[in-house]
Amino acid sequence: MLVGIIGGTGFFEPAADAEGRRETVQTPHGPVQVQVGKLGEADIAFLCRHGPAADIPPHAINYQANIEALALLGCRNVIATNAVGSLLEDLPPGSLATPAQFIDFTRSRPHTLFDRSCDKIVHVDMTEPYCPRLRELLVSEAGRLGMPCRDGLTYVCTEGPRFETPAEIRMFAALGGHLVGMTGVPEVVFACEAGLCYASVCVVTNFAAGISRQRLTVDEVHQVMDKMRPRLWELLAATVNAIAADPAWQE
């Protein structure tokens, strides 16, 4: 069974040791380049969220096509990586977290996969937008590898591409947000609409604006991601191999 991996910032290359072939998948919302291959014993379909050339900004990503491509390839489980700012003083740069909830502050993105006239109106349930079973597996594999991954947090998605003001971050914190990023939504929504079991591993690259006294730069985001990438691949490999090895995931 193919497991989908959506690589975010800093994951512009497929896994160094993942063998595979590049494919262009034609979807109702456009073509997507995917690498289909092996990560250890597991079959994976990997795509770069920001495109193969890493040049698509968060508000211009074709989230619909990306999710449709993985669904069309037959993926039922999808793990995404996301760089985030932390609103929590005890969750410093270099930490991992897997959100359980999101708050949507995007404003110019498609809202649904069902945006064409279709024979039914769809209202997808969002009680548990991130698959609890996949989150649990990620947390347990991360623990086994000695890299704690905090579960149960709330991800706030902004439109970007600018960073937030400290006032916005104070508002997000007051609303119950713990992590802030620009790419988690609508990807998770479309994954739910496509019936996929989807979870995100968030890498904290910085304290959010105003929590950190320093100005935020994209360089610091990339520096932390570059440092974390090898270990994150270990976690992804362990998780997809646990899925591949367990008959309960094949049902």
91 binds ligand HPA (CB under 6 A): no
Of all residues in this chain, which one has the CB nearest to ligand HPA in the complex?
A: 85
Question: CB of 101: closest distance to ligand HPA in angstroms?
Answer: 17
String of DSSP letters for 120-177: S------SS-S-HHHHHHHHHHHHHTT--EEEEEEEEEE--SS---HHHHHHHHHTT-
- The residues in 207-226 that bind ligand HPA, with binding defined as CB under 6 A, are 208, 216, 221
CB-count exposure of residue 212 (10 Å: 0-12, 13-18, 19+): middle
182 binds ligand HPA (CB under 6 A): yes
Q: Which is nearer to ligand HPA, 102 or 163 (CB)?
A: 163
Angle between helices 218-245 and 132-144 (to 10 degrees): 100
User: In terms of DSSP bridges, do strands 77-86 and 179-181 run parallel, antiparallel, or are they unpaired?
Assistant: antiparallel
Distances (CA, A) of 3 to 211, 215, 241, 242: 36, 38, 9, 11
> Of 151, 97, 153, 134, nearest to 239 (Cα)?
134
Question: CB of 14: closest distance to ligand HPA in angstroms?
Answer: 22
Q: Given the rule CB under 6 A, which of 11-19, 60-68, 83-91, 111-119 is the region that contacts ligand HPA?
A: 83-91
Q: Which is nearer to ligand HPA, 14 or 58 (CB)?
A: 58
85 binds ligand HPA (CB under 6 A): yes
Contacts of 242 (CB under 8 A, 6+ apart): 137, 141
Burial 167-192 (b: 16+ CB within 10 A, else e): ebbbebbeeebbbbbbbbbbbbbbbb
Q: Given the rule CB under 6 A, which of 12-20, 45-53, 80-88, 236-244 is the region that contacts ligand HPA?
A: 80-88
Q: Which is nearer to ligand HPA, 83 or 191 (CB)?
A: 83
Question: CB of 249: closest distance to ligand HPA in angstroms?
Answer: 30
163, 190, 233, 249: which one binds ligand HPA (CB under 6 A): 163
Question: CB of 153: closest distance to ligand HPA in angstroms?
Answer: 14
84 binds ligand HPA (CB under 6 A): yes
40 within 8 A of 14, measured Cβ to Cβ: no
Q: Which is nearer to ligand HPA, 123 or 215 (CB)?
A: 215
Can you tell me which residue has the tokens 């990438």? Answer: 229
180 binds ligand HPA (CB under 6 A): yes
106 binds ligand HPA (CB under 6 A): no
Would you tell me which residues interact with ligand HPA (CB under 6 A)? 83-85, 158, 163-164, 180-182, 205-206, 208, 216, 221
